[in-house]
Amino acid sequence: MKDIFKKLMVLLVIVAPLVLAPSAMAKSTKYTVLKVSKLNTASRTVTGTATKSAKITVKHGSKTLGTTKTSSKGKYNVKVNKLGVWSLTVSASKKGYRTKTTTIKVAAVPKTIKNATMIVYYRDSTNKLLSTSKQTIKLNSKFKAPKKNISYYTASKSKYSGFTLKSSKIVKLTKKPIYTITYKYAKNVLTPANKKTLKNKVSKFDSALKSTEDSSFYKSSNSNTISVYNNAVTKLDTYVASYLKDMSTPSKISSSFISNETKLLNTCQSTQSDYNNAKSKYDKLHTLSSNDKSILKNKINNIDDTFNSAKKDDFYKNGTDKTIQAYSDAVTKLDKLVAPYLSSQSTSSNIDPNFNTNVQSLIDNAQASQVKYRNAKTSFDSEKPYRDARDGYVMDSANFFDTNFKKIDVTGDYSPIKINANSVVWHNDHAYYLAVLDNQRGYILCSSTIYFANKPDTSQNYSLFTSTLSPIDCGNLDLGQESGHILCII
């Protein structure tokens, strides 16, 4: 048992350090925090912050000047004797932490002098130097902030260095005292940025007016909007001219400047709008732009294309209706009026004030003539089958039906009639030929009609009944040999 106990003890001695080592190593990787405030030869304490409960040591070389511990808030204060212009080392150490050491230089305290020449810097809010001045100040004298009249600015804050004030008395003074006065623009000031914005607005009106001076409308002088617009821009230019001479420096303005400027700008805007509206109306009456030409050409092309298509119609070629000539005259008159203006598509053309009205009137007339032509053509086309009917005779009596297939008459033997054998209409399972009897349009039944046709181009009739089966058979058939009713159409 003793041997076993000894072996266990040896094992614990070997393993325990291995188990504890990582924890110890983990702690040793932590650094203490250490910050040191600035020091000069007049300082009697070394202050700063570090890890709480850390030991602070201040040394000059190998000599320890003092030690202390940080508070629970991490602050420390080490008292020291008179310091020279040295380099001190300050360290912070704590169990379980790695020691942090830093070096700080002790600065020399500027010697106090009795008087000095102070430089005063006047800067704007962007830190741009406006001007400088020099003045002499004395130790133990009352200090008054230097005053300087800088137009267009008001002081917003001041700062100084090189001297120390106790109330308004100078208690310390260095060789190079500096006093800076920072200014901002006063309220009634037109800054360079304001001037740039204003100039851009004015320039837009000037450029717009200049760009239209060569226009026909401007030169016509027949609208009061021209003079009103011109006067408004001139008045604005005159009002702001003196302020825009020098763009790099601010200008003092009256309390009413902004409101006056706004009124003038608004007047220019409204008069420009009135001018542009009047010019637009004038241009529409007196100018045919390239875009207007393109639109007009498309309209004319549509009318011409429809007309050229109509010229191929049988109605246009053979009809006698007055709508044909009226349609042709309307399109021709329209083409003749617009042709000179559509020869050049890329440039605008000056036109008579009544041009657009006249063109629209001719377009309306051409379209109306087109509608009338189509209506007449429809009627013409519906009559074509009757016009194609051939003259002849009904050999035996036959029933005659009107266009609604209502029986209205019975033909006699050898009754004169016109029949179009190429126009067969089916009604109630019966085939009908289109026919004209005594100028009455209607139908006769195909299966019950014997038709004796006239010989083409002669005043003679075929001697016998003829058959629709073959023109060659016409005149070769004998009624006595024919058992049915045969229609022969030549």
Q: Kindly list the domain boundaries of the chain, sorted by start residue.
A: 28-107, 115-185, 189-278, 289-381, 388-481
Q: Could you tell me which CATH number the domain at 28-107 has? A: 2.60.40.10
pLDDT for 409: 84
pLDDT tens column, 85-110:
999 999 999 988 999 999 999 998 87
Q: Is 468 exposed, middle or buried (0-12, 13-18, 19+ CB in 10 A)?
A: middle
For residue 80, the tally of other CB atoms under 10 A from its CB is 16
Question: Residue 55: pLDDT above 90?
Answer: yes
**DSSP, residue by residue, 88-106:** EEEEEE-TTSB-EEEEEEE
Residue range 448-469: average pLDDT? 44
Per-residue pLDDT band at 216 (split at 50, 70, 90): confident
pLDDT for 74: 92
Residue range 298-308: average pLDDT? 95
Residue 51 to residue 28: CA distance in whole angstroms: 14
Contact present, 153 and 124 (Cβ < 8 Å): yes
Contact present, 400 and 407 (Cβ < 8 Å): yes
pLDDT tens column, 321-339:
999 999 999 999 999 999 9
Mean of the per-residue pLDDT values of the chain: 83
**DSSP, residue by residue, 195-234:** HHHHHHHHHHHHHHHHHTTTSHHHHH--SHHHHHHHHHHH
Residue range 236-252: average pLDDT? 92
pLDDT for 432: 87
pLDDT for 435: 87
The predicted model scores a pTM of 0.47
Contact present, 165 and 143 (Cβ < 8 Å): yes
Residue 91 to residue 103: CA distance in whole angstroms: 9
Which of 459, 457, 454 is CA-nearest to residue 474? Answer: 454
For residues 311 and 112, which has the higher predicted lDDT (pLDDT)? Answer: 311
Q: Which CATH superfamily is domain 115-185 in?
A: Putative peptidoglycan bound protein (lpxtg motif) (3.10.20.320)
pLDDT for 479: 37
Per-residue pLDDT band at 447 (split at 50, 70, 90): low
Name the residue type at position 59.
K
Phi, psi (rounded to 5 degrees) for 221: 55, 30
Question: Residue 441: pLDDT above 60?
Answer: yes
Per-residue pLDDT band at 50 (split at 50, 70, 90): very high
Per-residue pLDDT band at 261 (split at 50, 70, 90): very high
pLDDT tens column, 119-156:
999 988 888 898 899 988 999 999 888 888 788 888 87
